[in-house]
Amino acid sequence: MHPILTRNNVKVLGEGSQVIMFAHGFGCAQSSWKFITDAFLKDYKVILFDYVGSGDSDINQYDKQKYATLEGYACDVIDIIEALELTSIIFVGHSVSSMIGMIAALQIPEAFKKLIFIGPSPRYLNDGDYIGGFNANDIETIFEHIAEDYVGWSKQLAPVVMDNPSRPELSDFLQECFEATNPSVALAFAMATFKADYRDKLNNLEVPSLTLQSSNDIIAPLSAGEFIHKNTPENFLVVMKATGHFPHISEPEETIREIKDFIEEISLKSASDHLYAS
């Protein structure tokens, strides 16, 4: 097996030829996609992986300097693409992986067919008229809590970001994902995430993209999704009925439907009142 595939715990599944790659967000691993991947196995070649430092990746390959920025994580994506000789990829990124996927697509646009952003944000920090959802004190407090008591912080965070109080089992699943992440890696990933600002890169994206925005998301507010939509060529925005930052866990059927509609260009040809074309 190629060393990159071992390093990133890459799984290649499915019966189809069209490649769809799922990239997990902060504090998670490829297991976070478990509620939606079965729906793609018949018609797609499904690529799952863990970023170095997450899930069952090779922690010995973790490089603090490399993964101090999102570009380091984008290198993981590109390495996997090159190792598997993938082309015409549909890339589905959750949360911070939306911008990681964009970075990769800016570097090798010829490898990508479409990008799907679930709960994306080009910048989490508020800046003048731009509302990213957090101020500087909020972010510093997050870093402090992760450093002092990552497990305790994750227990408090999980139900808030899941935002489905009637289904506590979803928060429990998310908490288990968080707790499987090395605290020092989590802190470094959080710092790379919350300090990032990719607003000025959006206009350079040549690959068609979809922004899937939950109707209520404390991590990535609608203002962030709208900013991406307005500043990215060929970006489409869908505001979902799902609430919380993890619609692929809380509302898998709706998430699957929106992903497939975009891939198959069903909604793009309709006058759906929840989809806005650039």
Strand partners, 266: none
Q: Name which of 152-166, 189-203, 256-270 the model is least confident about.
A: 256-270
3-state secondary structure of 134: strand
User: Mean pLDDT across the stretch 5-25?
Assistant: 97
Token pair listed for 266: 């069903």
Asked whether residue 191 is domain-assigned, the answer is no
Measuring CA to CA, which residue among 138, 135, 126, 140 is closest to residue 223? 126
* H helix or E strand, kind and range, residue 47: strand 44-48
**pTM across the whole model:** 0.94
Asked whether residue 211 is domain-assigned, the answer is yes
Domain range for 15: 3-123+197-277
Asked whether residue 75 is domain-assigned, the answer is yes
The total of other beta-carbon atoms located within 10 Å of residue 99's CB is 25
pLDDT digits (tens, 9 = 90+) for 19-57: 999 999 999 999 999 999 999 999 999 999 999 999 999
Share of the chain above pLDDT 90, in %: 93
Asked whether residue 73 is domain-assigned, the answer is yes
On the question of pLDDT at 231 being above 90, the answer is yes
Query: How many structural domains compose the chain?
Result: 1
3-state secondary structure of 141: helix
pLDDT digits (tens, 9 = 90+) for 108-138: 999 999 999 999 999 999 999 999 999 999 9
- Helical spans, DSSP H, in the chain: 3-7, 70-84, 96-107, 136-162, 168-179, 183-194, 222-231, 247-250, 252-264
pLDDT category at 105 given cuts 50, 70, 90 is very high
User: Residue 273 has what pLDDT?
Assistant: 40
Please give the positions annotated as active site: 95, 217, 245
